[in-house]
């Protein structure tokens, strides 16, 4: 079964509760009069995400879905079979050891979830996970640094196991 972050939007939303609400803050009078904020909760896990910074409910819904996918990628770990090749989706975004996916890409959360699953399987050793995934360690770490919570997750798990802290780009 695919990771919830990788589900087609219709399947993901079928397992979710969507709430529309009002939120205060900047955006003019229109923002306070109309329920443009969107909160989506994935019922099986209780993971939720919200978007309220846009004046359009449709735009907030789109942003909330992407945020929910990222939150699911961060929260749910699946076991992986390292004797198998990575998913078709992962291979779609890799070529010759390079990983090319933007954090704004709708597939980013699913790719991130797969990377985190392999890292957990590799006991948070990026070199082993990267080898299984067919990318360089630096490409794998660059992916995690695109989502600060994923980078923190890796560092905290390494610290918990007594492994050295990894340095991010620019440090």
Domain 4-75 -> CATH class: alpha beta
Task: Please tell me the predicted confidence (pLDDT) of residue 56.
Answer: 85
Q: Are 139 and 130 in contact (CB under 8 A)?
A: yes
Angle between helices 108-121 and 57-75 (to 10 degrees): 10
| pLDDT at position 7 over 70 | yes
The strand pair at 94-95 and 47-51 is best described as unpaired
Write phi, then psi, for 39 (nearest 5 degrees).
Answer: -120, 125
DSSP string of 59-120, one letter each residue: HHHHHHHHHHHHHHHHH------TTSPPPHHHHHTEETBEE---TTSTTHHHHHHHHHHHHH
Task: Please tell me the predicted confidence (pLDDT) of residue 97.
Answer: 87
| CA 65 – CA 60 distance, rounded (Å) | 9
Name which residue leads in pLDDT, 170 or 129: 129
Indicate the pLDDT class of residue 126, thresholds 50, 70 and 90: very high
| CA 82 – CA 114 distance, rounded (Å) | 12
Query: Model confidence over 22-31: pLDDT tens digits?
Result: 766 555 555 4
| pLDDT at position 62 over 70 | yes
Angle between helices 148-160 and 137-145 (to 10 degrees): 120
Indicate the pLDDT class of residue 33, thresholds 50, 70 and 90: low
Task: Please tell me the predicted confidence (pLDDT) of residue 70.
Answer: 97
Q: Tell me the percentage of the chain whose pLDDT exceeds 70.
A: 91
Instruction: State pTM to two decimals.
Output: 0.89
| CA 64 – CA 51 distance, rounded (Å) | 5
Query: Which pair of structure tokens corresponds to residue 135?
Result: 């990318």
Task: Please tell me the predicted confidence (pLDDT) of residue 74.
Answer: 97
Query: Model confidence over 97-107: pLDDT tens digits?
Result: 899 999 999 99
Task: Please tell me the predicted confidence (pLDDT) of residue 26.
Answer: 57
Residues of the chain with CATH 3.30.160.20: 4-75
| pLDDT at position 57 over 90 | no
């Amino acid at each position: 079964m695919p990771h919830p972050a990788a589900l087609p939007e219709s399947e993901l939303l079928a397992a979710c509760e969507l709430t529309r609400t009002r939120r205060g803050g900047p955006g003019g009078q229109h923002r306070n009069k109309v329920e443009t904020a969107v909160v989506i909760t994935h019922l099986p896990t209780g993971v939720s995400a919200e978007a309220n910074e846009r004046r359009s409910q449709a735009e907030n819904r789109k942003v909330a879905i992407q945020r929910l996918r990222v939150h699911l990628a961060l929260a749910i770990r699946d076991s992986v079979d390292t004797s198998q090749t990575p998913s078709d989706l992962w291979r779609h975004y890799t070529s010759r050891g390079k990983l090319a996916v933007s954090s704004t890409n709708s597939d980013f959360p699913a790719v991130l979830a797969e990377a985190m699953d392999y890292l957990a399987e590799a006991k948070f050793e990026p070199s082993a996970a990267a080898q299984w995934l067919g990318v360089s360690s630096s490409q794998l770490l660059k992916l995690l640094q695109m989502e600060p919570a994923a980078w923190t997750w890796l560092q905290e798990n390494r610290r918990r196991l007594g492994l050295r802290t990894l340095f991010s780009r620019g440090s």
